[in-house]
Amino acid sequence: MAKMDFDVKYESKDKGEIGMLGDSINKMSDNLRHYISDLKSANLELQKDIDKKEEIDNMVKNANWDYNDILGDMVISIEQVEKQAVEYGHSFERELSYMVVHSFYHLMGYDHIKEEDKVIMRPKEEFVLERLGITR
């Protein structure tokens, strides 16, 4: 792909049509430079997300799943996730991720009914979400 030089500017004291055209081209060039910079940043973020997903996929694919490792079933209502995401001001992704992690800890025997149990379970949930890069 050819490298585009957006630093080249039309310079003239001409105030006629050619000068106005040159000024318009300069403005478009500045806008393009800004948009291309934004696209490059977005592309880098997307690549990080893809890399993270591939890392998780590989961990799951390469895990040694033994039948004895199955703890139980997890049922999550998408409608409830949507409702709670709005209620708590989270993204849908964050709330769904929280519900999965929360359910997992219930399958592992953790609970949060009593305050002494809640202070153990909540930090564990937040730790997992933080490690996955899913924040409030």
Q: Give the percent of the chain with pLDDT over 70.
A: 88
Model confidence at 65: pLDDT above 70: no
The dihedral formed by the CA atoms of 46, 47, 51 and 53, expressed in degrees to the nearest 10: 20
What is the per-residue pLDDT for 1?
Answer: 52
Instruction: Yes or no: say if 77 and 100 are a contact pair by the CB < 8 Å rule.
Output: no
- Which ranges constitute the DSSP H helices of 7-77? 17-62
Q: Which residues of 109-131 are buried (b: 16+ CB within 10 A; e: fewer)?
A: ebebeeeeeeeebeeebeebbee
User: In the structure, what pLDDT confidence band is assigned to residue 31 with cuts at 50, 70 and 90?
Assistant: confident
What is the chain's mean pLDDT, rounded? 86
What is the per-residue pLDDT for 29?
Answer: 85
Mean pLDDT of 102-113: 92
105 exposure class (CB count in 10 Å sphere: 0-12, 13-18, 19+):
middle
